[in-house]
Amino acid sequence: MATDSPVLSVFVLNGCGTCEDVIRDLPQWSEQLGGAATEVFSPPVAAGIPVPRWFDICIPDPGEVVARSRGVTLYPTLLLSGWPGDIGPRRATGYMAIRELILEAQRDLRHRAWQRRPFVWMSRSRGWERQV
């Protein structure tokens, strides 16, 4: 997937409490990463099992084909792809590891913004000058 912004691909299961925590925080995390696009994959809910209220945002993954093709075996898993300078997606499994990955990406964003700021230096003869 070729985009100019990062993509958060999240793999969740129905009935998983940790997955629900990830779904709850996903909009906030996306916003913190500059409006990163999100994809939420989940296997279809079996007949007779209540459908969670967040299930309407999920992309159905029957037989977990997409999850297997991306190497996902545990839930919840987040893949952060499209990050400048990364060869492949960054991966985290479990709520705390996902949260730490998001915090690390936020630190990267702040660092990159700091590196792009204009360089200002002072010259005695000409006062302040700006070098870009």
Q: Which two tokens stand for residue 120?
A: 């200002």
Q: What residues are paired with 42 via a beta bridge?
A: 60
| Cα 90 from Cα 70, distance rounded (Å) | 12
Q: Tokens 């691909």 map to which residue? A: 9
Q: Is the pLDDT of residue 120 over 60?
A: no
What is the rounded CA–CA span in Å between residue 12 and residue 59? Answer: 10
* Residue-wise pLDDT tens digits, 19-69: 999 999 999 999 998 889 999 999 987 777 777 777 888 898 998 999 999
The mean-pLDDT minimum among 12-16, 32-36, 60-64, 115-119 falls in 115-119
CA atoms lying within 13 Å on the CB side of residue 100: 8
Residue 110 or residue 112, greater confidence: 110
What b-and-e string marks burial along 47-68, b requiring 16 or more CB atoms within 10 Å of the CB? eeeeebebbeebeebeebebbe
Instruction: Classify residue 6 by its DSSP letter.
Output: -
Q: What is the pTM of this model?
A: 0.78
